[in-house]
Amino acid sequence: MPFDPDLADRIRALVADEPGVTERTMFGGRAFLVHGNLAIAASSQGGVLVRAGDDAERLVARSSAEVAIMRGRPMTGWLRVRAEDVRTTRQLARWVTVGTDVAGSLPRKPAKRRGRT
């Protein structure tokens, strides 16, 4: 299943004023990165994949988010939030803030050089 382009547009609108945000296709979804660190993605599995860092367990206990599973293994510090739980701007903004705050606190990744064509 492809990612939801409308959800990606909604995320894009919420991160428009964030410094250092870029986007690219990753894991079959549309990912939004802060200074090269993945923050949040419109997931190909529906809903969003969110970088939650050390707050992941607390957020799972206080919300409907679940620990993200990739290739059958739990991804420490990453959450999946279902599409029905990010329907409103307020709901989505909460998760965008979580992801961008965590990604923004990480060391910046150097820009990748593109090879000559």
- Report the pLDDT averaged over residues 106-111: 88
What pLDDT shows up at residue 8? 97
pTM for the complete prediction? Answer: 0.90
Q: Find the CATH number of the domain harbouring 46.
A: 3.90.1150.20
Assess if residue 15 is contained within a domain.
Answer: yes
Assess if residue 114 is contained within a domain.
Answer: no
Domain that holds residue 72: 5-104
What pLDDT shows up at residue 116? 56
Assess if residue 116 is contained within a domain.
Answer: no
| CA angle 48–28–38, rounded 5-degree value | 55
Q: How confident is the model over 24-81, as pLDDT tens digits? A: 999 889 999 999 999 999 999 999 999 999 999 999 999 999 999 988 999 999 999 9
Q: How confident is the model over 9-24, as pLDDT tens digits? A: 999 999 999 999 999 9
Pick from 62, 61, 95: nearest CA to 81: 95
